[in-house]
Chains A and B, each alone.
Chain A
Amino acid sequence: MLVYLFRRLINVVLMLLVVAAVTFGIFFMVPKLTGTDPALLYVGKIADKVAVEGIRHKMGLDKSIVEQFWLFLKGIVVGRSYNAGTDVTHCYAPCLGYSFKTEREVWPLLLDRVGVDFSLAIGASILWLVLGTATGIVSALRRGTALDRISMSVALAGVSLPMYFTGLVSLAIFVGQLGWFPRKYTDFTADPVAWFQGLVLPWVTLAFLFAATYARLSRATLLDVLGEDYIRTARAKGLREPVVIGKHALRSTLTPILTIFGMDLGGLLGGAVLTENTFNLRGLGYEAVQSIASSDLPVIMGVTLFAAFFIVIANLLVDLLYAVVDPRVKLA
C-alpha cells in the first residue's frame, strides 16, 4: 500500500513534469513563431532598447532553453530570484513567474482565482451527484414507464444543450426578468449569503449539464447490474427487494460513478471556462481566456499546470478510492 502510494506519487510528479515541459515548450516556441519577443512583452509599449535588454537579462531570457527550463522548474520547487546587478526580485516557491500584463506574480493570482472554482465545484458537484444518480436509479427501476422516458429526455436535453445556452436563458429569466439572484460573485468569507445567492444559478446550470451524464450512466449501469447473477442469488436468498437493490445492486452501480466523478471534479477545479464566462465569475477558466486573449504566456502556463495538477491528483484519489470500494482491486 505505502509502496504503491509512493510509486503513484512519483508518477504524479513525472506527469506534472511532462506537462511543465510541454507548457514551457509553448512558452518558448510561441514568441518565435509569432515573431514577438517575451522581453518586449514584459516591458510594454514604450520599448527602450536598454530597458528591453535589462529585462531580458533579469528574467533570464538570454539564457539557453535548457537553462531556462531548469530555472522554471527550480522556481516552482524552491523559488527563484530575478536579479540584474543590484535590482533583485525574489519570487517565492511555488514561483510560476510574472504576468506580462499586470507584472504580478502568477501564483498568488491563481490562488485568488481558484476560490471561485472551488465554490462553483462544491455546490454543483453535490447537486449533480445527488440529482443525477437519483434520477438514473429511479429511471432504471421504473424502466419503460413514462417517468423513465421523461427523465431520460430531460437528461438528453441536459447533455445536448450547451452551457452558454442554458446559462444565458436562466440568467435572462431569473436575473433579468424575475431578479431573484444577483449576477455577481461574492467571496464566501465576505458574505456567505451573498456567496450562496450569487452561485445558485451557476450551480444549477452546471449541475444540469453534468447530472444528465450521471443520470444516463447510473441508469445504464444499474440495469446492467440488475441482470447480474449475484442479484439473482440475492433474490434466491429471500432478501427483500429494497435490500437487493439498496445493498447489492447500488454498491456495484456506484463504482463507475465514482470514477467519472473524480475526473469531472478534478477537471472543474482547473477552471470552468464556459460557466465562468457565462456567469461572469472570475475563476481560473476566466483567467485562462483572458491570458490567452492577451498572450500572457506566464499566466497561460500557470493555469495549465494548475489544472493539470488537479486532474492528476483526482486520478490518484479515484484509484485509491477504487481499492476501498472494490475488494478485488489490489494496490500493488
Chain B
Amino acid sequence: MSNTDKPFLSVRDLKVHFPTDDGLVKSVNGLSFDLERGKTLGIVGESGSGKSVTSLSIMGLHRTGTKRGAPQISGEIWLDGQELVSADPDQVRKLRGKKMAMIFQDPLTAMHPYYTVGAQIIEGYRAHHPGTSKKVARTRAIEMLDRVGIPQPDKRVDNYPHEFSGGMRQRAMIAMALVNDPSLLIADEPTTALDVTVQAQILDLIRDLQKEFGSAVIIITHDLGVVAEIADDILVMYGGKPVERGPAATIFESPEHPYTWGLLGSMPRLDRELQDRLIPVKGTPPSLINVPSGCAFHPRCPYAELTGGRSTGEVPVLAEAVPRHYAACHLPIAERHRIFTEEIAPRL
C-alpha cells in the first residue's frame, strides 16, 4: 500500500498484554482507529481503560523483547506509511521526538530536575539534528519558549523546571515536544495536574499550535470537558477496548453507549441546576486479567438485562449506529435512542 492510501496514523487491532505473576493483563485488547493530519482525536476513558498504554505503544515507549515487564504487543500501527509495531526499535527511536512527540501529565516529574529547561529542549533538538551547534539549538529553544508563550524566554531558558510555575512548566513541555515540528503530537492528560484557569490556556495553546503546524493530535484524558473543547473525533475506551467512536459533536449530542452516558452524567456542568446531583457510573473498573465475559461493561450497565442475555455471552463489536458514529453495544439501536432521549438526556 502506498503512503497516500493510508490515513496518516492508522492503528489496527492493537493488543498490548502484560504478563504478570497474577496472569495476563490485557491493557489494550483490540483497538483500531485512524487519524489524519490536522485533526484531533480525544481518547476518553477511566483509569485502566488502556488509553495511556495505547499512546506509549504508538511512541514505542514500552519495554521491548524479553525485558522484565515488557508487554506482548500485536496488531499494526502505521504512521505515515511506516509500520511501528514490527519495526526495529532503533528506527522507532529515530521517529520519537521528531515525527511523533508526547506531552505528559505532570510536567514537574516529567522534566529532569537537574537540567535547565533550555538544556532539555536543546538536547531534544540536537538529538535529531546532529551537527547543530549548541548556539543554534539554543536560539531554537528560546524561539520555542517564546512560541508557547513564556515571557522573557531568553532568560527563562536558563531556569530549572522547579523555578517555573505549573502552567509554565507544561508550556515548556510543549515547547520541548514541538521543537522538531512533529507531525503527530500525543498529549497524555496534559491538563490534569493544572489549575482550571491554566487548563484552558494550555488547551488553547495546543489548538493554536496544531493549526499552525498542521499536526495530528491525540489527547488522552478522563475529562470529557477537555475533549469537548479541542477534539474533532472521540474514542471512548472501556476495559482495553473501544466502546464508542465518532465525531465529537455527535458523541456529545447523541451518545450511543451506556458507558458514555455514564461519563456524561458524571461530568459537572455549569449549565446544570445546582440541586441536580451528578450521576456516577456505579461499580468499579473491570479487572484486566479476568475481563467480564461478553460485554466488559455489563456488570455496571443498568440496561444489560434488555439485551436478552447477549451482554454476558457475546463480545459486542463496534458497529456503525449512525453514519461515522460507531458503538459496541448489544442494545438494539432504536432501543438505545429511546433510552437516551427518554431517560438520559433529560438528566444531563
User: Which residues of A are at the interface with B, using a C-beta cutoff of 8 A?
Assistant: 143-144, 228-230, 232-240, 243, 248, 251-252, 325-328
Contact = CB atoms under 8 A, between A and B. Distances in A.
B113 A238 contact: no
A326 B176 contact: no
Contacts of B95: 238
B317 to A, nearest CB: 33
A236 B106 contact: no
Interface string B88-107: 00000111111001101010
B110 A230 contact: yes
A232 B61 contact: yes
B157 interface: no
Contacts of B123: 237, 239
A238 B114 contact: no
Given A235-B96, A238-B127, A239-B123, A230 B162 contact: no
Nearest to B109: A229
A230 B94 contact: no
B113 A236 contact: no
A230 B97 contact: no
A233 B175 CA distance: 13
Contacts of A240: 93, 127
Contacts of B112: 230, 233-234, 248, 251-252
Contacts of B128: 238
B68 A328 contact: no
Most chain B CB atoms below 10 A, which of A144, A232, A238, A239: A238
Contacts of B176: 233, 237
B251 interface: no
A248 B101 CA distance: 19
Contacts of B340: none
Contacts of A252: 112-114
A144 B162 CA distance: 35
Nearest to B56: A232
Given A143-B68, A144-B68, A233-B104, A239 B127 contact: yes
Contacts, number: 73
Contact of B97 (A236, A251, A325, A326): A236
21 contacts: A143-B68, A144-B68, A229-B106, A229-B109, A229-B110, A230-B111, A232-B61, A232-B110, A234-B112, A235-B61, A236-B59, A237-B96, A237-B97, A239-B127, A252-B112, A252-B113, A326-B113, A327-B114, A327-B116, A327-B160, A328-B162
B240 interface: no
B124 interface: yes
6 nearest interchain CB pairs? A238-B97, A238-B96, A237-B97, A229-B109, A237-B124, A230-B112
A326 B112 CA distance: 11
A74 to B, nearest CB: 46
Interface residues of B, number: 29
Nearest to B89: A241
Interface string B204-234: 0000000000000000000000000000000
A78 to B, nearest CB: 45
A326 B96 contact: no
Nearest to A235: B61
Given A144-B68, A233-B110, A238 B94 contact: yes
A155 to B, nearest CB: 20
A253 to B, nearest CB: 11
Nearest to A231: B112
A228 B114 contact: no
A232 B104 contact: yes
B184 to A, nearest CB: 12
A240 B97 CA distance: 12
B70 to A, nearest CB: 12
B287 to A, nearest CB: 24
Contacts of B98: 238
A325 B127 CA distance: 24
B64 to A, nearest CB: 11
Contacts of A235: 61, 93, 96
A237 B128 CA distance: 9
A325 B96 contact: no
Name, among A234, A251, A326, the residue most crowded by chain B CB atoms within 10 Å (CB to CB). A234
Nearest to B114: A251
Interface string B107-143: 0011111101000100110011000000000000000
B113 A327 contact: yes
A156 B111 CA distance: 35
Contacts of B101: 236-237
Contacts of A328: 113, 160, 162
A237 B127 CA distance: 8
B10 to A, nearest CB: 21
Contacts of A326: 113-114
Given A252-B113, A326-B113, 13 more contacts: A229-B104, A229-B106, A229-B109, A229-B110, A232-B110, A233-B104, A233-B111, A233-B176, A236-B61, A236-B101, A239-B127, A240-B93, A327-B114
A228 B114 CA distance: 13
Interface string B1-24: 000000000000000000000000
Nearest to B111: A230
Contacts of B109: 228-230
Contacts of B160: 327-328
Contacts of A232: 61, 104, 110
Given A326-B114, A328-B160, A238 B104 contact: no
A251 B113 CA distance: 10
